């Protein structure tokens, strides 16, 4: 009898714990997605940490004037720890700058780093997140997987068209 009770309790815990960890943030987004859908689907990313404490707002203030003519394309994985760390910080920076978030193109990739449209091949995406800054339909530069100095310092270098090499530049 004790064995049946232990098995029953284990079964309840196993089934219930499996259901408790499932939430909208576990959703794997693949393909193009609107900013609002992305933020709502990954809202746990934003409550997990106080992302603002990682940002140097003196540097961010300098970014503002360079953003107006720039579009941003972000390749990410909802399953990817680096995406979960970098994208909320990037969004905090952009919101602080008053950036038009509708100018962001978000492309979710599978764990194999593919999408239904295969757009990742055109942009030679090998690692994520990859954040591409585009001005006048030309790529200025990109941050790949993680920033070199800090995300705000790297963005400023890219937007000022200063010499910048991402972590995988030599590949």
Q: Give domain status of residue 55, yes or no.
A: yes
pTM attached to this predicted model: 0.82
- For 142, the domain range is 25-159
* Domain CATH code at residue 81: 3.40.30.10
Domain count, the chain: 1
Q: Give domain status of residue 74, yes or no.
A: yes
The tens place of each residue's pLDDT in the chain, 171 residues long, gives: 544 444 334 333 333 333 333 344 467 999 999 999 998 888 887 665 666 677 899 999 999 999 999 999 999 999 999 999 999 999 999 999 999 999 999 999 999 999 999 999 999 999 999 999 999 999 999 999 999 999 999 999 999 999 999 999 875
Give the CA distances from residue 91 to residues 17, 46, 65, 78, 135, in Å, rounded to whole numbers and listed in that order: 32, 10, 17, 15, 19
Q: Give domain status of residue 14, yes or no.
A: no
Q: Give domain status of residue 101, yes or no.
A: yes
Q: Report which secondary-structure segment, H or E, holds 33.
A: strand 31-33
């Amino acid at each position: 009898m004790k064995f049946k009770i232990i098995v029953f309790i284990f079964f309840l815990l196993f089934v219930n714990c499996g259901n408790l960890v499932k939430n909208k943030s576990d959703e794997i987004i693949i393909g193009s997605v609107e900013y609002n859908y992305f933020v709502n689907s990954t809202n746990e990313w934003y409550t997990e940490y106080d992302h603002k404490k990682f940002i140097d707002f003196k540097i961010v203030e300098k970014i503002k004037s360079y953003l107006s003519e720039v579009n941003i394309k972000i390749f990410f994985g909802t399953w990817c720890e680096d995406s979960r760390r970098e994208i909320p910080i990037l969004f905090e920076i952009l919101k602080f700058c008053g950036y038009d978030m509708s100018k962001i193109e978000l492309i979710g990739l599978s764990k194999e780093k593919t999408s239904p449209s295969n757009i990742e091949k055109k942009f030679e995406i090998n690692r994520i997140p990859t954040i591409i800054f585009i001005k006048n339909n030309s790529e200025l530069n990109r941050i790949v997987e993680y920033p070199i100095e800090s995300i705000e310092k790297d963005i400023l270098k890219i937007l000022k068209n200063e010499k910048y090499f991402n972590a995988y530049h030599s590949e």
